[in-house]
Copies of this chain bind each other. A is one copy, B any other.
Amino acid sequence: MTQIPTYADVQDAAKQLKGMAVRTPLVEAHVMGAALGCRLFVKPEVLQRTGSFKFRGAYNRISRLDGAERKRGVVAYSSGNHAQGVAAAATLVGAPSVIVMPSDAPAIKVANTKALGGEVVPYDRFKENREEIGQRIASERGLTLVKPYDDPYVIAGQGTAGLELVEQAKELGAAPDIVVSPCGGGGLVAGCALAVKENLPNATVYGAEPAGLDDTARSLSFGQRVANNPKNTTICDALMAPMPGEITFEVNRKLLKAAIAVTDDEVLSAMKRAFLDLKLVVEPGGAVALAAVLSGKIDVKGKTVAVVCSGGNVDPAMFERALKAP
């Protein structure tokens, strides 16, 4: 694979993932769509193995390792969804996995990562650098580092969600005009954009990200990668990458129209709507694309719109907060 992934890499990843990843459905959101005056579809990656899309990229990367590499194992750093994806994919191919996770990651993500076979190494995200810890463990123990987004195999793997979205929309007689995907480091939206723009060249693809961590929005406007203020916070624990990836930004600056920032309150409201109207459990970071549409920040009137709900690993306490949202 070339450094910058292409549509062919997404197709190849789809072959690699066949029978391993869940082909999550594309669900029409009749009630929300009627309220918005558009035809609205949701791709619930919450139903993916490990509860988020991250399994796709992790498996596409880890299943390419040779026998000796698998035997030594893999290491990853992640706030929790990539952690679970890597642990599950590694266990499936018989490789040990070490996951560097923030000590304040949601309890459900830590517990699931361990249950899936991962060895969890906690770190203090306000004082330590996870990339450095990951690199050090990789060198010391001879492990392969599986990056959360800035890896062509990972991006191509995540793109299979977008490829399915396009295929499933066609099966349902629909061609999305607008596709919106959550965006942290940018791997999911980059992979999806590769699949969408190849099949629907006129479709507009947006990223969605938390207000205050809108590095992709600002990088796209600015024309080059800029970082987030590390002091800014969000309830979207899955979307706290410090800045766009080199590779992801190279794809996204060509294929995305823009990235839309949403507030924590808009995210909580979107989680509640997903509960009420879709019967889906969506975590804060997984709900930003839906929030971008529901908040009216994207003009969807009369359009066919598809949004990715990218993960559902949320603790009960945070979900109760969402249930109390307006």
Interface residues of A (CB under 8 A from B): 19, 22-25, 27-28, 30-31, 44, 46-47, 49, 51, 108, 112, 115, 173, 272, 275-282, 312-313, 316, 319-320, 323-324
Closest 4 CB pairs of A and B: A279-B312, A46-B279, A316-B323, A279-B281
Shortest Cβ distance from A117 into chain B, in angstroms? 11
Shortest Cβ distance from A114 into chain B, in angstroms? 12
Residue contact B279 to A275, C-beta cutoff 8 Å: no
Shortest Cβ distance from A172 into chain B, in angstroms? 8
Shortest Cβ distance from A259 into chain B, in angstroms? 25
Residue contact B22 to A47, C-beta cutoff 8 Å: no
Residue contact B22 to A275, C-beta cutoff 8 Å: no
Residue of B nearest to A272 (CB): B316
**Chain B residues near A46 (CB, 8 Å)?**
279
Residue of B nearest to A173 (CB): B19
Indicate which residue in B24, B31, B115, B312 contacts A25 across the interface (CB closer than 8 Å).
B24
A324 to B316, CA, bound (A): 8
Extra contacts, 5 of them, besides A51-B277, A51-B279, A316-B323 (Cβ < 8 A), are A22-B27, A25-B47, A275-B316, A279-B313, A281-B281
Residue contact A319 to B47, C-beta cutoff 8 Å: no
Q: Which of A28, A49, A316, A319 has the most CB of B within 10 A?
A: A316
Residue of B nearest to A286 (CB): B279
Residue of B nearest to A51 (CB): B279
Shortest Cβ distance from A312 into chain B, in angstroms? 3
